[in-house]
Amino acid sequence: MLPRSLSLPGAGVALSGRWYSPSDASYGLAIIAHPYGYVGGDQDNPVVLALVRHFLAQQVHVVTYNARGVSGSEGRISWTMRPECEDMQSVVQYAMEHTPLATSAPTLYVVGYSAGALQASTVRPKLADGAWSQARLHYLLLAYPLGVRWLLTCLQTGYYVRALDALLRDEQRGLTIVYGTNDQFTGASSYEAWRTHLVALRPSLDLHTLAVDHFFRTAPMQQALRAALPTRAAPGEH
C-alpha cells in the first residue's frame, strides 16, 4: 500500500496529498477528508488509514490529503470550515479527472471522518460528462461531530444542516452514516434525536449506530467499523 505523494489543487491553495492505486483494475475512486487540523487531524490519522485499506480492497483509487494549514499544505485552518469544503470540492474534481477506470459505471465515494464528515456532506461532484456520467455516487459520513458542529463551524451550523438535509432527500445518491453511542463529543441522546430526523428524511438510510467511541481505539471497535463500511455492491448505491 505504497502511495504516490502529490500536490493537489484546493480553492486557491496547494494541498499535500497521497494517491493510492489498487493492485488490480480500477472500478472507482474514494476521496477521504480527515478530522479537524487544530486538534491534530491529518491524513496519517489511524482511522483515515483504515479507510484507505478498506477502499483499496474494493479496487478503487484512494486520495487523501492534508487540509489547508496542516502538515505541508498551504493556507491557514479556517474557523468556519467553508474554505475546507471548497478545497474538498476541488480535490474531488481533480481526482476524478485523473483516475484511470476499467468500467463505464464506476463508483465515486466522498468520505469524511469527524470534521471531515462536515466537509464531505457539502461536496457535489460534477458527474454529467465523460467517464463519470454513469457513476454511482456514495457518501460516507463517519463520526459526524454533531455535538460540536456549532464550534467547528463558528456558528454557521445552518449551512451544514442544509447540505446534509439535501443529501438525505436525494435518494439517487448513496449515503452511509456511522456513529458511536460512546462518542466523546456528542451525547447518545443528541444522536438519537438526530437519528429520528435522518430517518424521517430518508427511511431507507444506511445508518449504523455502533457501541464505539469517536476514535475507534480498540480492536472490537475497529472490527465494528469495518463491518459497517460500504462496498461497491452495497445497498443504497444507485
Grid cell of 136 as nine digits: 454511482
* First and final C-alpha spacing in the chain: 29
Q: Which CATH number do you get for residue 180?
A: 3.40.50.1820
Tell whether the model's pLDDT for residue 162 goes beyond 70: yes
* Placement of cell 460534477 in the chain: 126
CA distance 81 to 112: 13
Q: What pLDDT sits at residue 238?
A: 38
- 235 occurs within a structural domain: no
Domain extent at residue 100 = 4-228
Any idea of the CA torsion for 187, 224, 60, 129, to the nearest 10 degrees? -40
- How many structural domains is the chain composed of? 1
- If you average pLDDT over every residue of the chain, what do you get? 95
pLDDT value of position 209: 98
Establish if 40 belongs to a structural domain: yes
Residue 53 amino acid letter: R
Nearest to 8 by CA among 75, 86, 122, 94: 94
Does residue 238 belong to any structural domain of this protein? no
d(CA 146, CA 81): 14
Amino acid at 12: G
- Alpha carbon distance 238, 230 (integer Å): 13
Percent of the chain with pLDDT over 90: 89
Instruction: State the pLDDT at residue 2.
Output: 86
pLDDT, tens digit (0-9, with 9 covering 90-100), for 105-122 = 999 999 999 999 999 999
Confidence class for position 237, pLDDT limits 50, 70, 90: very low
pLDDT of residue 233: 61
Per residue in 193-218, pLDDT (tens digit) is 999 999 999 999 999 999 999 999 99
> Is residue 26 very low, low, confident or very high in pLDDT (cuts 50, 70, 90)?
very high
- For residue 206, what pLDDT is reported? 98
Q: What is the pTM of this model?
A: 0.95
User: Which stretches does DSSP call E strand in 152-205?
Assistant: 174-180
pLDDT (tens digit, 9 = 90+) per residue, 47-92? 999 999 999 999 999 999 999 999 999 999 999 999 999 999 999 9
Residue at 66 is within a domain: yes
Specify if 237 maps to a domain: no
